[in-house]
């Protein structure tokens, strides 16, 4: 899982919200709710100044922003809503920069652009939008800008705007990077917790809880499509004597060796679990009795051939296994009970054997 988090693409990460963070659609809807009456208000004030262009344009922006939220409300299409919103506010802020709305003071709204863009989109979109915006502001405040538009700004206002906007954009970028890093950290932590909750620390196999959950899922599939599955309960023979003679660390190595052999002998679809101390459970999906017995015997054979190197030479071990295949409307508890009985039989018949 940590591999997954390391590869989490920026697109996915920008839309991934940790608990408590405002979801992007909610933020966009909230901004739209605030922006629409504001635009109507400024349109009305521009109308009072006999500006023939600004009122219809601002009303048009208000209508399009509202329509964007309405489309999201009807379709729940997050990407469409986000892209629509970014396009609309980019055009709106450009208009506020090149047209002297509110005697030119409306250009101050430009400061709202960087935090919104960085919050709702990927880092590279934020960087591209802010770089473009910054270049446009410099152009607007340059002599070339004076030739193209009629900006009513003094030199000191222009300089202050350039430095303050630049400062704000860089700050937003740094904060955004820090937010993304902390999100990655949280994702990794969540993945590690999930892994630890499902796996056995010594062998890396599924733990008992995860095995029960896989068993339940397989049982549900069986009830739906009737495909038989089997379980193998496998126990290392005379394991206590290994601990007693060679120490617990060698016992642990043996437990790991058996786990490794199970991995080599089983299919990817099989669930391998450490069921208890030196006991394992193998869930074999879509496997009838005969095949399950053959698999269990192949595993038994492979384990009897493997060995652990101790300071006192190589040691080998054997296992006993009990196999049970699901029957009619049998419950999981009953199935496990039958495999346990078969394991008990294998032990009492002399160990190093498979019973089913």
Ligand X SMILES: Nc1nc2c(ncn2[C@@H]2O[C@H](COP(=O)(O)OP(=O)(O)OP(=O)(O)O)[C@@H](O)[C@H]2O)c(=O)[nH]1
- Residue closer to ligand X (CB basis): 53 or 202: 202
User: Minimum CB separation from ligand X for residue 177, in Å?
Assistant: 44
Residues that bind ligand X (CB under 6 A): 235-240, 243, 248, 251-252, 255, 277-278, 347, 351
User: Minimum CB separation from ligand X for residue 256, in Å?
Assistant: 10
- Residue closer to ligand X (CB basis): 28 or 321: 321
User: Minimum CB separation from ligand X for residue 193, in Å?
Assistant: 22
What pairs with residue 324 in β-bridges?
231
User: Minimum CB separation from ligand X for residue 246, in Å?
Assistant: 9
Active site residues: 278
- Residue closer to ligand X (CB basis): 20 or 350: 350
- Residue closer to ligand X (CB basis): 120 or 272: 272
CA separation, residue 173 to residues 123, 151, 167, 179 (Å): 8, 28, 10, 10
């Amino acid at each position: 899982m940590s591999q997954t988090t390391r590869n989490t693409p920026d697109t996915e990460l920008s839309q991934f919200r940790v608990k408590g963070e405002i979801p992007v659609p909610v933020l966009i809807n909230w901004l739209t709710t605030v922006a629409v009456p504001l635009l109507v208000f400024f349109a009305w004030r521009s109308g009072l100044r006999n500006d023939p262009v600004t009122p219809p344009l601002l009303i048009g922006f208000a209508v399009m922003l509202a329509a964007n939220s309405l489309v999201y409300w009807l379709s729940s299409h997050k990407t469409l809503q986000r892209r629509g919103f970014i396009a609309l506010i980019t055009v709106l802020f450009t208009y506020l920069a090149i047209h002297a709305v509110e005697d030119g003071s409306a250009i101050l709204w430009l400061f709202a652009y960087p935090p919104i863009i960085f919050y709702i989109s990927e880092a590279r979109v934020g960087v591209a939008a802010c770089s473009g915006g910054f270049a446009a502001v410099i152009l607007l405040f340059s002599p070339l800008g004076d030739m193209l538009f009629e900006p009513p700004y003094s030199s000191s206002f222009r300089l202050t705007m350039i430095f303050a906007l630049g400062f704000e954009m860089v700050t937003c970028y740094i904060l955004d990077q820090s937010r993304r890093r902390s999100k990655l950290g949280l994702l990794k932590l969540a993945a590690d917790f999930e892994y630890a909750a499902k796996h056995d620390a010594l062998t890396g196999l599924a733990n008992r809880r995860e095995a029960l959950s896989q068993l339940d899922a397989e049982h549900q599939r069986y009830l739906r499509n009737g495909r038989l599955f089997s379980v193998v309960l496998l126990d290392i023979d005379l394991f206590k004597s290994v601990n007693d003679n060679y120490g617990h660390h060698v016992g642990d190595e043996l437990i790991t060796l058996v786990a490794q052999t199970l991995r080599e002998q089983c299919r990817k679809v099989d669930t391998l679990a450490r069921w208890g101390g030196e006991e394992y459970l193998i869930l074999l999906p879509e496997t009838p009795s005969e095949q399950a017995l053959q698999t269990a015997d192949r595993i038994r054979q492979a384990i009897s051939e493997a060995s652990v190197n101790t300071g006192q030479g190589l040691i080998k071990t054997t296992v006993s296994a009990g196999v049970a295949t699901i029957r009619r409307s049998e419950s999981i508890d009953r199935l496990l009970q039958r495999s346990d009985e078969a394991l008990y039989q294998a032990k009492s018949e002399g160990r190093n054997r498979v019973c089913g």
